[in-house]
Structure 1
Amino acid sequence: MNKYEHFETATLHGGQEPDPTTLSRAVPVYRTSSYVFKSADHAARLFALKEFGNIYSRLGNPTNEVLEQRVSILEGGAASVAVSSGTSAIFYAIITLAKAGDEIISAPNLYGGTYTMFDAILPDLGITVRFADHRDPESFDRLVTEKTRAFYIETIGNPVLDVIDIEAVAAIAKKHHLPLIVDGTFTTPYLLRTIEHGANIVINSLTKWMGGHGTAIGGIMTDAGNFDWSDPRFSLFTQPDRNYHGLRWALDLPPELARIAFALRFRTVPLRNLGACLSPDNAWIFLQGLETLHLRMSRHSENALQVAQFLAKHPKVAWVRYPGLPTDPTYPIAQRYLKRGFGGMVVFGPRGGKAAAERFIDGLRLFSHLANVGDAKSLALHPASTSHSQLTEEQQREGGLSPDLVRLSIGLESIEDIIGDIEQSLGRI
């Protein structure tokens, strides 16, 4: 039997065998900047992609390689590249396939940093991002032009938790022969393997549930290996690349490497030359988190559902959003995709608006008030004044964010203690 046949087994064994020299069972941390070449020919072959191996830890590291292979197995992808943060993974993914004059079509219900990158930073580099309506997949179709190079969505939008119909968006992307980039951070591959539903490139913030303990920052990109980059529109893959001695990524590589042309260009162009590399120590931390991902995501989802059900009945709560509530607008879509649970995030608005939301945040005792999600500990935030504060009020509302919204990342504590803290804080309003 393939030992990676089941997700739970892959979280523990994927990408690693005991070290043949030391017989170490655990993954070693390789704290080295560089690696010795066996000969001049060996070095040349590595740089020419005629042989894979270690060159410099900005490009790759044996500890990071285990993490990358494990995530590829969990996602069902062909190759992954780990970087120093989730936002670096997003930025590098975009500039791997798009250049000045190109366009991206994105859903608007994004993490605040991603929205700012798309709305302000990429346009300064000459890449235009057009925002579709995440509730209407056909809106992506209407925005496609000859300059479009990719679609971009999040599985569960941050922070309003709308679940997007991935297959519907993927079908439109396929119709136009465009890659679909999916940020799967809020679901992780345990709850949703987006490649099975049409994703071509998957982004995950390792900082969140994959690491799961709030101890390190990192991100990872997974190339599904299922997109043909030989279309002349993708000139970064079909024209000689001056970043890499004139190589045409989609045309000059042997078939087995052309399949992962995106991952190779991602690693050897933006990562190699811009340098947002992941430290091996952080990679090791994330590997520890992945070993319990399946256990934690089940508990996060179980606790979050109970919190959502509690809030939905509370007299001081004006509204609540959770994909697992039958009353949620995206519940019919969530039911189709999220068979193992609906995730660890709950958002709600207390009666009394923004002032009441701030009072609730200040009254929490067990929850930590900080700008993160996916920790084993329960966390709370008021996004409109923090993580999404750089957006205008109009932009916030376009993504579904209202001034009274409280974002709760539900942890692994006793559900009685979690609900008890929420209840006592609501009592202060």
Structure 2
Amino acid sequence: MTDTAQYGFDTLQVHAGARPDPATGARQTPIYQTTAYVFRDADHAAALFNLQEVGYIYSRLTNPTVAVLQERIATLEGGAGAVCCSSGHAAQILALFPLMGPGRNVVASTRLYGGTVTQFSQTIKRFGWSAKFVDFDDLDAVKAAIDDDTRAIFCEALANPGGYITDLDAIAPIAEEAGLPLIVDNTSGTPYLCRPIDYGATLVVHSATKFLTGNGTVTGGAIVDSGTFDWSASGKFPSLSEPEPAYHGLKFHETFGPLAFTFHSIAVGLRDLGMTMNPQGAHYTLMGIETLSLRMQRHVENAVKVASWLETHPAVEAVTYAGLPSSPYHERVARICPKGAGALFTFALKAGYEACVKLVDSVELFSHVANLGDTRSLIIHSASTTHRQLTPEQLEAAGAAPNVVRLSIGIEDADDLIADLDQALAKATA
């Protein structure tokens, strides 16, 4: 497909980036399970290595199957380019890599996946980076956290675990005024429910492990480049604006313009960090994306039914789903996620921690796993699993208090899901 502007989302999720295989005419994108690629001649090889020509060298950098996935995700998100990698966590590091340096910091939302909080609060310190965690509902606090060493602002569109919706309309202008890129994790939203670039995001990251693939078979990540940020304006991003020694002084922004970040993430990021997505994983994700809109519609429909039922249950203290009229973030759904508030939310039990543990041990249809975004409905007690490394204060800020259970609602029959929760709640609170 050459002109994607004329097509709707449902068409693009099937066709964007894909072309019949020129050698065989195969309609589905083949799995190019190869490490390296034969050069036409010595001049062709030199041009590829000098970034003077686009093509395939080595599958740590580029692979035809992965390239189709990158183009499809970029198209669906409304970006200029995309880079796929080995996991969602890899995507976050790869996104920050060209921007940060020793002594630099990122201003991050307190409402993040527990693993991201740990990555930002602990692991990135080993690179000499740091993170400042701020409540993104407090816009003055976000502004106050930005200093001369800040190089990015980071949040989730639909935050894990509670389904909190970030007010991108309010955060994006703060990033723009500060001359900083806004990085938005859109894993829970997907480009079907939310397109952060439309609200001013510079980069969008995904754990392709989740809704994009949708069937619990792949570990993968993606970074989408909006192509709109001026990397040379402030002098704060020398990796993109200044000469790159490894490429004879090439300046990525000057040379590649809107695709500067994308090319740097492949030519330097994947080259040296090696966070490569395997072609079979890319193939599975491509197949998953073909039904993304259909699945997300059902995910949202089921989530509304289950959350509404839970809100009336006598054992339930509160439900966080933004799709409920009672949610303080309900008004953001129409603005930020017009097709629905996603499938991820939490609910709190009046009986506390032990009842939550008993609940997850009592379900029969829900799967107790450390994942989300599957066609199957999933349940987990975040405080004792995915978020257990956090302090009590961090647990509260992240929406993963000890009496809170997280649900990822699948595409099964909603009445069956409600019946399963009903019997499990009865056992947990007996």
1:356 aligns with 2:355: yes
> Partner residue of 2:421?
422
Residues 23-422 of structure 1: pairs in structure 2 closer than 5 A: 23-230=25-232, 231-251=234-254, 253=255, 257-422=256-421
Instruction: For residue 243 of structure 1, report the CA deviation from its aligned partner.
Output: 4.3
Contact 2:303 2:409 in 1 (8 A): yes
Contact 1:182 1:194 in 2 (8 A): yes
Superposed CA offset, 1:38-63 (max 9, x none): 11111111111111000000001000
Instruction: For residue 71 of structure 1, report the CA deviation from its aligned partner.
Output: 0.5
Contact 1:87 1:219 in 2 (8 A): yes
- In structure 2, what residue type is equivalent to 1:43? A
Contact 1:237 1:250 in 2 (8 A): yes
- In structure 1, what residue type is equivalent to 2:101? K
Instruction: For residue 121 of structure 1, report the CA deviation from its aligned partner.
Output: 1.1
CA distance in 1, matches of 2:369, 2:231: 41
SS in 1 for 2:253: coil
Contact 2:114 2:398 in 1 (8 A): no
Instruction: For residue 227 of structure 1, report the CA deviation from its aligned partner.
Output: 0.3
CA distance in 1, matches of 2:265, 2:22: 30
CA distance in 1, matches of 2:108, 2:13: 31
CA distance in 1, matches of 2:119, 2:97: 12
CA distance in 2, matches of 1:351, 1:344: 23
- In structure 1, what residue type is equivalent to 2:416? D
Contact 2:333 2:340 in 1 (8 A): no
CA distance in 2, matches of 1:245, 1:83: 26
SS in 1 for 2:206: strand
SS in 2 for 1:209: coil
Contact 2:98 2:237 in 1 (8 A): no
- In structure 2, what residue type is equivalent to 1:286? T
CA distance in 2, matches of 1:132, 1:350: 27
CA distance in 1, matches of 2:139, 2:384: 30
* Higher mean displacement: 94-103 or 280-289: 94-103
CA distance in 1, matches of 2:9, 2:216: 23
CA distance in 1, matches of 2:176, 2:215: 37
- In structure 1, what residue type is equivalent to 2:75? I
CA distance in 1, matches of 2:263, 2:348: 44
- In structure 1, what residue type is equivalent to 2:380? L
CA distance in 2, matches of 1:176, 1:244: 30
* Higher mean displacement: 286-295 or 140-149: 140-149
CA distance in 1, matches of 2:225, 2:264: 11
Superposed CA offset, 1:363-406 (max 9, x none): 10000101000000011000111101111112212223211110
Across the two proteins, how many residue pairs are aligned to each other?
425
- In structure 1, what residue type is equivalent to 2:270? L
SS in 1 for 2:98: helix
SS in 1 for 2:155: strand
CA distance in 1, matches of 2:169, 2:67: 30
CA distance in 1, matches of 2:69, 2:139: 33
CA distance in 1, matches of 2:39, 2:326: 61
CA distance in 2, matches of 1:42, 1:139: 52
Superposed CA offset, 1:285-308 (max 9, x none): 000100000000000000001000
RMSD: 1.3
Superposed CA offset, 1:226-285 (max 9, x none): 10100212122223223444322223x1xxx22111111111112111111011000000
Contact 1:203 1:222 in 2 (8 A): yes
CA distance in 2, matches of 1:138, 1:293: 37
CA distance in 2, matches of 1:128, 1:88: 17
Contact 1:98 1:236 in 2 (8 A): no
Superposed CA offset, 1:166-216 (max 9, x none): 121100000111110000001000001110010110001110000000011
Could you list the runs of 5+ residues in structure 1 that have no partner in the other structure?
A: none
SS in 2 for 1:347: strand
CA distance in 2, matches of 1:241, 1:112: 35
- The runs of 4+ residues in structure 1 deviating greater than 6 Å are none
CA distance in 1, matches of 2:94, 2:19: 30
Contact 1:307 1:346 in 2 (8 A): no
SS in 1 for 2:403: coil
Instruction: For residue 148 of structure 1, report the CA deviation from its aligned partner.
Output: 1.0
- In structure 1, what residue type is equivalent to 2:10? E
CA distance in 2, matches of 1:302, 1:207: 22
CA distance in 1, matches of 2:426, 2:330: 29
Contact 2:383 2:404 in 1 (8 A): yes
Instruction: For residue 19 of structure 1, report the CA deviation from its aligned partner.
Output: 1.5
CA distance in 1, matches of 2:77, 2:138: 26
* Higher mean displacement: 141-150 or 277-286: 141-150
- In structure 2, what residue type is equivalent to 1:124? R
CA distance in 2, matches of 1:250, 1:338: 32
TM-score, normalised to structure 1, is: 0.97
Contact 1:137 1:165 in 2 (8 A): no
- In structure 1, what residue type is equivalent to 2:38? V
TM-score, normalised to structure 2, is: 0.97
* Higher mean displacement: 338-347 or 370-379: 338-347
* Higher mean displacement: 241-250 or 182-191: 241-250
CA distance in 1, matches of 2:241, 2:261: 12
Superposed CA offset, 1:4-34 (max 9, x none): 6200000100001112221111111101000
* Higher mean displacement: 235-244 or 140-149: 235-244
